[in-house]
Structure 1
Amino acid sequence: MTISIASQETSEQQLDNEVVLSVEGVSKKFCRDLKRSLLYAVQDIATELVGIRQKSEKLRRDEFWALKDVSFQLRRGEALGLVGPNGSGKSTLLRIISGLIKPDSGFVEIKGRIAPLIALGAGFNPILTGRENIYANMSILGLSKKEIDERFEAVLDFAEIGAAIDAPVQTYSSGMAARLGFACAIYTEPDILLIDEVLAVGDIKFRAKCYRRLAKLREQGTSFILVSHNPHSILSICDRAMYLSKGNLIATGNTDLVMNRYEQDLFLNGLEKSSGLMLLSEKARNSESDLYIIYLCFKDKEENILDYPITGEPTYFCVGCKVSKKLNDLSLAILITEMSGENDIVLNLSAYMDDCPLQIDDKNTEIQLQMPYLGLKPGVYSMKVHIAQNSLTLFDAIESFRFTVKGNKSMNQCSFYQPRAWKVTNKLSYTQLV
């Protein structure tokens, strides 16, 4: 089921914009077995020729849905981000929109010229020169020779390949070919640009120039669909986003909210979702010890027990202890590893290392590690907990306390949550720069 995530602010002007792309109920299936795929293709062509082929919602042997009942609209001047894990159907959707493949059901309606930036330079003839390939490539994208003549110098200047323009493309580096392909596509001045992971071409200076050109095209009314695994690109360019998974449309709407949903699914996918509370049987503990652990939990700053700690929120990690006598110079130590990676250590803290010895009386006690905010990103973690005296006498230890961290903030591929504020000031640090 698709979840529609609504933006907090909806512009009436945007709603009035012309729809330049309409995708309705598009589905596409493929076959994993090559021989069987060829057999199905022959059968489908034969039944289509005699006019008896019917659209089927059933999968034949070894078939799977690359896309299943996907619908959305793109308005003039709008930028739509398309996210999802590998194999989710993003590139298949772009190929259907660009007309490279046909859907098994549903339809695509396009108003205006479309330019697919799916595989830059893939259509170039390696034997022809860059100059010859510009004319061939841009004519395929719908321009006349006169129009190409008028834009040729602009394409050459943007691609930054200089005298190499009259050399065969087979002598170009992959970056040169990609830059030339990008320049050809954007100077067709399309109504719709399909961009599939191609904004990483060239050095950082060239990428900045690409972004500036895309912004200018958008001001002129060009619409984008951007596929990228870089959340920064999606968040900085796109008004809306779509999240695909296994061919299904999972969420659509506000970019920040869709990216947040995608990141949480990405971090937590396939892992056991564990509660932030562990109760321990006193019978199973070492009752002969002067101190042993009876529970572990997370609390908020009001000391309410949390099922799941939240990224960026004030969080207390609490250790309940059964105590038989007064103890000094204690240290609580925790070591946290991330379950979704290679069990790398992400946090190692102890009161001993912080030069903060703990003292407790001869009664039941809760030791708290108070964190003004939780820096862990959403995911599943395992924690080792040790309580010792003078770092020598070990009273008790829990080798694995598994817990899940959730988040209501977009992490944007950050390794941890950084609390922050933004400010503009007219005070300069170095007056000599004025």
Structure 2
Amino acid sequence: MTTELSDREITVEPEDSEVVISVERLSKKFCRNLRRSLLYGVQDITTELLGRKRTSTRLRSQEFWALKNVSFQLRRGEALGLVGSNGAGKSTLLRIISGLINPDTGSVKIRGRLAPLIALGAGFNPILTGRENIYANMSILGLSTKEIKAKFDEVVDFAEIWDAIDAPVQNYSSGMAARLGFACAVHTDPDILLIDEVLAVGDIKFKMKCHRKLAKLRENGTAFVLVSHNSHSILNICNTAIYLAKGQLITSGETEAVVRKYEEDLCLSGMEKATGPLILPKKSPEESFGLDIISVCFKDEQGNILDTPMSGEPTSLCVECFAHKYIDNANVGILVTSLSGESDRVLYLTSASDNEILTIAPGSTEIQIQMPYCCLIPGVYSAKIYIRSGVCSFDIVESFRFTVQADKTISRCLFYQPRTWKVIKK
């Protein structure tokens, strides 16, 4: 497959026979204004008809880079995940690889049969039946009528639509159309399979079937490019990944490291990183109720202040206070809320519920909540901290904001689970 373009070309046959996709310095720009976009299109066509070379490396008014200088390679049998927020350029990249749109600069080299599955029911004619669409769709993907007949029953069995196979596709639900589209694509024996979010539809049983089929295809040498906002799908299927943000390639490599970087950026997006201790102003005697919280911070095992605690590492949450009197049976409470997602409560601890009787003498005191491991995943959090005795409340910190980081792979987790492993022979 070779497609000639104005400033570059898509060719086949990468030098390494194991490389099935080679993308080099790929860039694509779009225009935000429809009328101006049409004008630019006419200008570009006119320039090409006159035999001139149009400039594709600079932006014109209201244009932006959907992709900018993206490079990677995909080898036979590999599964590559594309992660990034909406508008990162993931679907644009898949559409360029599949040949639906042309890039402005760079090169794409394809080796082998490619099956794109980048939209629900893409390529289906709504007024045709499921049976007719199977023949039409699979013939477009490169199969002969004889080959389609041989695979027909297997496709319909996989899609589980025998009852509706002779009904128009326009009467199918989105899940039925997705199942049929996936079944057609994976039964063409592709060398490369492009998948864009279609694994997000269907019930759990069908999703498990899809994952088993993908694993079998990969064992036979099929390479995948998978786009999904579900990190678990990327982690379970892909051995390598690419992280895109605003058309730029941020990082690539081993899947768990790339997903961890993406999730950390996603958690911190739109908010300032909270670091260091919280120092509170001194209260006047008239303002105090007998005990004042002076500062809140995290410390390591050596007593050093931590700017940011680390997931899975020992840490202590330290609440320094000044008591004006002797306080017996003090109760310290901590309510931790995640600011990275939907402001969900993630942790609530009180000394009273742990049957800890705290006694605070007059003067300065530091109350430590010692944690053998920080169980929070990377993100930004807010802690509400109070000290009371019975119904008497002494002081409260409404929001101690802090950031948790990680140097371990915990992308599949909601929290870090302390654990030990043993092998016991019986």
TM over 0.5: yes
Tell me what 1:395 maps to: 394
Which moved further from structure 2: 275-284 or 213-222? 275-284
CA RMSD, 1 decimal: 2.3
Q: Does 1:73 align with 2:63?
A: no
For the structure 1 residues 169 and 426, does the alpha-carbon distance in structure 2 shift closer, same or farther, using more than 3 Å as the test?
farther
CA distance in 2, matches of 1:99, 1:396: 64
SS in 2 for 1:36: helix
Which moved further from structure 2: 55-64 or 410-419? 410-419
SS in 2 for 1:86: coil
Assess if the C-alpha contact under 8 Å between 1:55 and 1:105 holds in 2: no
Q: Which amino acid aligns with 1:310?
A: M
- Deviation, structure 1 residue 180: 1.4
Q: Which amino acid aligns with 1:20?
A: V
Assess if the C-alpha contact under 8 Å between 1:331 and 1:391 holds in 2: no
Assess if the C-alpha contact under 8 Å between 1:276 and 1:309 holds in 2: no
Assess if the C-alpha contact under 8 Å between 1:55 and 1:104 holds in 2: no
- Deviation, structure 1 residue 97: 0.1
Tell me what 2:139 maps to: 139
Tell me what 1:418 maps to: 417
SS in 2 for 1:25: strand
Tell me what 1:253 maps to: 253
Assess if the C-alpha contact under 8 Å between 2:120 and 2:174 holds in 1: no
CA distance in 2, matches of 1:137, 1:421: 52
CA distance in 1, matches of 2:417, 2:264: 17
Tell me what 1:235 maps to: 235
CA distance in 2, matches of 1:341, 1:285: 40
Post-superposition CA distance 1:371-424 (Å, at most 9, x none): 2322222222222222223331x3332222221111234444644333356778
Tell me what 2:107 maps to: 107
Assess if the C-alpha contact under 8 Å between 2:30 and 2:63 holds in 1: yes
CA distance in 1, matches of 2:305, 2:285: 23
Q: Does 1:352 align with 2:352?
A: yes
CA distance in 2, matches of 1:284, 1:26: 64
- Deviation, structure 1 residue 347: 2.6
CA distance in 2, matches of 1:108, 1:370: 54
SS in 2 for 1:346: strand
For the structure 1 residues 420 and 34, does the alpha-carbon distance in structure 2 shift closer, same or farther, using more than 3 Å as the test?
farther
CA distance in 1, matches of 2:130, 2:301: 64
- Deviation, structure 1 residue 267: 0.5
CA distance in 2, matches of 1:253, 1:71: 12
SS in 2 for 1:249: strand
Tell me what 1:188 maps to: 188
Post-superposition CA distance 1:306-365 (Å, at most 9, x none): 110122322211011223443211122222222234544333322234332211233421
Tell me what 1:407 maps to: 406
Tell me what 2:367 maps to: 367
For the structure 1 residues 286 and 244, does the alpha-carbon distance in structure 2 shift closer, same or farther, using more than 3 Å as the test?
farther
Which moved further from structure 2: 100-109 or 279-288? 279-288
Q: Which runs of 5+ in 1 are unaligned?
A: 1-15, 428-434
Which moved further from structure 2: 366-375 or 103-112? 366-375
Which moved further from structure 2: 264-273 or 275-284? 275-284
CA distance in 2, matches of 1:288, 1:215: 65
Tell me what 2:93 maps to: 93
For the structure 1 residues 132 and 290, does the alpha-carbon distance in structure 2 shift closer, same or farther, using more than 3 Å as the test?
closer
Assess if the C-alpha contact under 8 Å between 1:333 and 1:350 holds in 2: yes
Tell me what 2:12 maps to: none
Post-superposition CA distance 1:219-255 (Å, at most 9, x none): 1111000111111111111110100000000010011
SS in 1 for 2:260: helix
Assess if the C-alpha contact under 8 Å between 1:178 and 1:201 holds in 2: yes
CA distance in 2, matches of 1:353, 1:413: 30
CA distance in 2, matches of 1:425, 1:187: 46
Spell out the pairing of 1:28-39 with structure 2 (5 A cutoff): 28-39=28-39
Which moved further from structure 2: 401-410 or 206-215? 401-410
For the structure 1 residues 205 and 337, does the alpha-carbon distance in structure 2 shift closer, same or farther, using more than 3 Å as the test?
closer
Assess if the C-alpha contact under 8 Å between 1:352 and 1:391 holds in 2: no
- Deviation, structure 1 residue 426: 9.5
CA distance in 2, matches of 1:92, 1:426: 55
For the structure 1 residues 425 and 34, does the alpha-carbon distance in structure 2 shift closer, same or farther, using more than 3 Å as the test?
farther
Post-superposition CA distance 1:247-305 (Å, at most 9, x none): 00001001111111111001011211111312334477878654322221101233321
CA distance in 1, matches of 2:165, 2:288: 83
Tell me what 1:332 maps to: 332
Tell me what 2:212 maps to: 212
Tell me what 2:149 maps to: 149
Tell me what 2:319 maps to: 319
Tell me what 1:127 maps to: 127
Percent of matched pairs sharing the same residue: 64
CA distance in 2, matches of 1:165, 1:333: 61
Post-superposition CA distance 1:201-227 (Å, at most 9, x none): 432222222111111111111100011
Tell me what 1:12 maps to: none
Which moved further from structure 2: 357-366 or 176-185? 357-366
CA distance in 2, matches of 1:233, 1:131: 30
Number of residue pairs matched by the alignment: 411
Tell me what 1:8 maps to: none
Assess if the C-alpha contact under 8 Å between 1:286 and 1:292 holds in 2: no
SS in 2 for 1:293: strand
CA distance in 1, matches of 2:420, 2:41: 58
SS in 2 for 1:126: coil
